[in-house]
A and B are shown apart, each in its own frame.
Chain A
Amino acid sequence: MSTNKNEKPLKKVCIICSKGTIEDVYATLVMGNGAVMEGIEAKLFFTFFGLDAITKKQMNKLHTGTVGNPAMRMPGGLPFPTILGILPGVEAGVSSMMKKQMEQLDIPSVDEFLEMITAGGGEIYACKLAMDMFKLKKEDLHDEVKDVLTIGEFYEKVGGEEGTQIIFT
């Protein structure tokens, strides 16, 4: 509830996701979905490794990195030694635990999440430059992706009214 009359409510968010880990992608999806649920226009732009989140082959196989993450804990709260993270299967195990925890909170899979966002009027875009780099075609992307954009075209979509924010996850 706004108490200050000069406060402008948020009308539009543009969220940019450039990384493909579970936490980066879900931060983007939760914010995008949260926006449309609040009646805020949402445009999601996936670039570089974030493209995994909208690539049919990869989207439901995202992982959390187990190396170089000082906030990683063992079940029970003990620190997670980085050296463990390099062992085969550890990253997959940790990632599947993360997904299980999210499922318990009724957080959907990536493809279902994208469908929820577009059902609410949100729009999903892919970055042309990163698509070219990774040799991806529009057909490789999930059906909910509306378009492949250059950065100029993205800024055109952002433009306009007061109450617009660009968020980098």
Chain B
Amino acid sequence: MKHPTPQPDFTCAAARDAWHAACDGELAADAQAALDAHVAACPACRAYIDDLAAIAGALAELRTATQRVGAAPARPTRRHATPWLNRLTRMAAAIALVLGAGVLAYLATVERPTAPTHTPTTVAQPPAPAGPDAPPPVAIALAGDSDERFIPVARATQQSNVHVFVLFERP
């Protein structure tokens, strides 16, 4: 076994064995006394035991530092002591939701803009050409929100005297 009995020739090796047994809590009281006596006389063993005790202390510190790893933090219990209050809160939330939806629907009907009408109109009449038999100038533009892309088309038709119908649907 690892329990050295105190002997007059308590060697350094025996002392170190004894310390390891003591570290595991397996050292008899009389062996502890022999160990203490040896350590008091032997500086080398004292240094050894001091070092190993420091290491054991650090290991204990590592153990404490990691003790809570893997433990789930407790969820704070938010449940009310009075269940009816809980139900009341839920009902209030439902009422607020319905009211909010109603207000939104009302606003949508009131502020709905009129549908945009895209009627080709003549705008920005160019200066009338000289001469009575010249073809009438045509310019196509868009009423309402006009798009710049169509203006060159309108100019092209005006110059080449070709009727172009631009049919489109705004998205």
Query: Are A and B genuine complex partners?
Result: no
Residues of B in contact with A (beta carbons under 8 Å apart)? none
Residues of A in contact with B (beta carbons under 8 Å apart)? none
